[in-house]
Structure 1
Amino acid sequence: MIHEQGNYVPGDGNSSGSKDKAPIHPFNRELLTAINMLCISWDIIPESGLESIIKFTNNKSTDPNLNGIEWFNKIVAKDARKRTLRQMIDELRETNDIKEMRFDLMNQYLNEKGFENYIR
């Protein structure tokens, strides 16, 4: 299981038919990667809150979804074992081949705003 944090363009696939969308903002790329990793760690399908963050982020791909990161951070804080996202990914890495992922922009934003950071 190797995840690429590349230049994903929402809706850019064989069935989309649209090739003129701007590349996703790096902040949003980190957010979507983080959501995917949380879903893998918790073995869930993104519903309600997470699904809303994904849809909004994809629709506004060139603008950083700052509210989305704050909301996502609160969701991660609800981990039953009180782990950060980084700790969850490190646990997954013990039994899976997972590329190193960095969430520098998200961490910087949370730290600058003074939020308790559950991403790291």
Structure 2
Amino acid sequence: GGGGASGTGQWNPLAKQLNDAINMIVVCWDIVPKGPLADIQSNLLRYRSNEPFPPKIKAINTVLSYDKQGRTLQQMIDQLRQNDSVRQFNFNLINNVLEAEGVSSNFG
């Protein structure tokens, strides 16, 4: 049972990248996730083995476009890395989806 809605399964690689991206937005901007960030992340955690739909990826890409300094997420992470030990992140799967949708990536 459980209907597949539990968060105990393996991460879909694209879902994992998007979840990591949301976590890094929270860290870089020092915010509490709310609105689209919280809703999308909640669904990612609940359905971690499912690939997220392109509109969800595009929504997070749009959120990133609101950075006051016009940085990509990768640039924000690089700035954090100057003072803190931050692991490498790869957003290639997200970038592939955005490219297929004809959308410029703010993930870097």
State the TM bucket, normalised to the shorter chain.
0.7 to 0.9
Is 1:118 aligned with 2:99?
Answer: no
Other structure's SS at 2:67 match: coil
TM-superposed CA distance for 1:58, in Å, is 1.7
**1 or 2, which has the higher helix percentage?**
2
CA distance in 2, matches of 1:101, 1:22: 22
Is 1:107 aligned with 2:86?
Answer: no
Partner of 1:34: 21
CA distance in 2, matches of 1:51, 1:101: 20
Q: Which runs of 5+ in 1 are unaligned?
A: 1-9, 12-20
Q: Tell me which amino acid in the other structure corresponds to 1:53.
A: I
Aligned residues: 102
- Superposed CA RMSD in Å reads 1.3
What TM-score, normalized by structure 1, do the two folds share? 0.80
Q: Which runs of 5+ in 2 are unaligned?
A: 1-5
Q: Tell me which amino acid in the other structure corresponds to 1:112.
A: A
After TM superposition, which residue ranges in structure 1, 4 or more long, deviate above 3 angstroms?
Answer: none
CA distance in 1, matches of 2:85, 2:47: 31
Q: How many percent identity over aligned positions?
A: 29
What TM-score, normalized by structure 2, do the two folds share? 0.88
8 Å contact 1:27–1:106 — kept in the other structure? yes
Is 1:58 aligned with 2:39?
Answer: no
TM-superposed CA distance for 1:60, in Å, is 2.1
